[in-house]
Structure 1
């Protein structure tokens, strides 16, 4: 085999060194991460059509999903970023469109601007002070998840801004377009929120407004089953909502290994119309009052509990829940929880993620395993 001349060898070495110098910073400035979570378990619910219900669950704390996220350093304290997530049900493999995907820019001085399908300000600034938006998860949602603290729906066509931190204070907002020609306000949404964290105390407030929810297929939200709508047999009705407003306020205080929390929210839907017949339906409003606590017993064991009182114009619900989590490793934990709900005025008990009760009481007992990757 012919050996290269010393001149050619030196030239090749110089080119290789130059390429390495040019490529190394580029690789260091960009990053892409594959991540996700799988949550599955077993659950018992009583009083479903007069019978007990046993099921394999697909995420009683967090919905199972996989995702990709990445960023590129653009210099000057600026970077580009993206996030793509897809939900799924490990029990049956069903895909779930309940996670965000967006692209945007982040500045150390000016904050973050993103475009895509995204969480609203209720998720960002209010939900963390509820147990459903914190360690409790799906089954701990307020009845019907009426205030969206458990992220039942995300906003499509959304532009979102989040400020940098000013001391312990941050704020942000979102606007989701209707994307309908000549129908700018039909099925649009916007929200605002703010958060403060300093020492042992933290608090947040958020507001979400939507016009014409479900009025077209191109806007912020799809038609949805209005909480409490339906006939005597318990079926639900897909609806359009003329106007929807949700406001929430919450706070936490840490005492040693215990975090105490309180949250209040009010959700109102007016101008409600049956999506199939066009018939008008009654407006619906809910007020939720929650007290919760999380105790980090040891580094591996935590206990959480809550009580929620929900008041609507014609009914109310009492809900209590407790949860124990044991962290087997950094990425894997096992949990057990129980939720009890009691309704009044002929309304059914409806624990989130389970079929409605055939009466005013419902009890859920569940256990599961969760792994993050």
Structure 2
């Protein structure tokens, strides 16, 4: 009987794991299998003038499995690798939304990696937003326009991450287009830095990409912003420039954070007609707080104001998380968004609202292994 595609994949991963484990034993390496499953239920209003009830997968983190490992090369140097794959617990569908890379690192000079990786917005700016922390996916800014929720990762990328030098760390990434004679077509680069002293932490990051989707082997796939208003949505985007700054301060069991980001989308064309359209620039202003009420109960909340191109959005969200054990927790969260007249409300991971308002209430369970 022929072996199914899924079975072949399972056999391949099993054989790979055995090979890695064998290598670890002979080369003094360490290999770890890990992952997370996130599933629950959600209610969303105003979807095509109807309420929507659905089974969710990954409202906070997304479900995934991963392998990572290191090999001691001596002299403080090491080889590292990381392989992750996202999937839907509800449908079994796989997602290419996690990193995989291989590289070298030292205790003093930092780490250099090659592969499909997070950019500097994820590393140095997103931690000051709630979507980049405990809030997760549904807490993203409108359309995740600044990539704080890492909606896309950079393929064909080379990334450097420094060590921590007295509280200061920095890094950068360059993603190749891989197209002959089109070096700058569908490439990307980003830089970022972070500084921490006592209870105070601050960070900043910048991301540029151009020629999105123009080549099949470049940094990113094409980007289409959904919607009906051509000055805000319903647009294909070719170039993006995004920067963000954030800071946080810890007071006992409470962490207060603020973040600002601006994403400029240019080279815009109408998604329906292909005609040139105005650039789309969006600003995001966020304030959020996380409170560790007890060792097992965490509360979080945020407010975000997004504006640009004659439209604006208000978004508020709260979340309660309860640890059943070190690996399993349950959560309850609610997100409300109100858009200006003529602009649709669209909470991340949901279909756009049929009006200016959208409410999502979700609960779920997560298990880490």
TM-score by length of 2: 0.91
Structure 1 partner of 2:254: 258
Structure 2 gap ranges (5+): 1-21
> 1:365 pairs with 345, 361, 365, which one?
361
| Pairing 1:293–2:289 present | yes
How far off is 1:225 after superposition? 1.5
Give distance in 2, aligned partners of 1:75 and 1:180.
37
> 2:306 pairs with 306, 310, 320, which one?
310
Question: Where do residues 84-233 of structure 1 align in structure 2 (5 Å cutoff)?
Answer: 84-226=83-225, 228=227
Q: 1:58 to 1:324 in 2, by over 3 A?
A: same
Does the residue aligned with 1:166 lie in a helix, a strand or coil? coil
> 2:331 pairs with 316, 329, 335, which one?
335
**Equivalent pairs, count:** 348
- Cα contact 1:223–1:240 (8 A) shared by 2: yes
Does the residue aligned with 2:268 lie in a helix, a strand or coil? strand
How far off is 1:344 after superposition? 0.2
Structure 1 partner of 2:36: 37
Deviation sequence 1:6-51 (CA, Å, 0-9, x none): xxxxxxxxxxxxxxxxx99965730111100000010000111111
TM-score by length of 1: 0.90
How far off is 1:282 after superposition? 2.2
Give distance in 1, aligned partners of 2:351 and 2:85.
24
Does the residue aligned with 1:213 lie in a helix, a strand or coil? coil
How far off is 1:345 after superposition? 2.8
Deviation sequence 1:274-316 (CA, Å, 0-9, x none): 5786422221110000000000000000000000000112200
Give distance in 2, aligned partners of 1:276 and 1:218.
25
Structure 2 partner of 1:62: 61
Q: 1:24 to 1:250 in 2, by over 3 A?
A: closer
Give distance in 1, aligned partners of 2:173 and 2:226.
24
Structure 1 gap ranges (5+): 1-22
- Cα contact 1:240–1:275 (8 A) shared by 2: no
Q: Over aligned residues, Cα RMSD in angstroms?
A: 2.0
How far off is 1:224 after superposition? 1.7
Deviation sequence 1:164-185 (CA, Å, 0-9, x none): 1101000000000000110000
- Post-superposition, which runs of at least 4 consecutive aligned residues in structure 1 deviate over 2 A? 23-29, 226-232, 234-237, 273-279
Give distance in 1, aligned partners of 2:31 and 2:272.
44
Give distance in 2, aligned partners of 1:235 and 1:343.
13
Give distance in 2, aligned partners of 1:351 and 1:155.
24
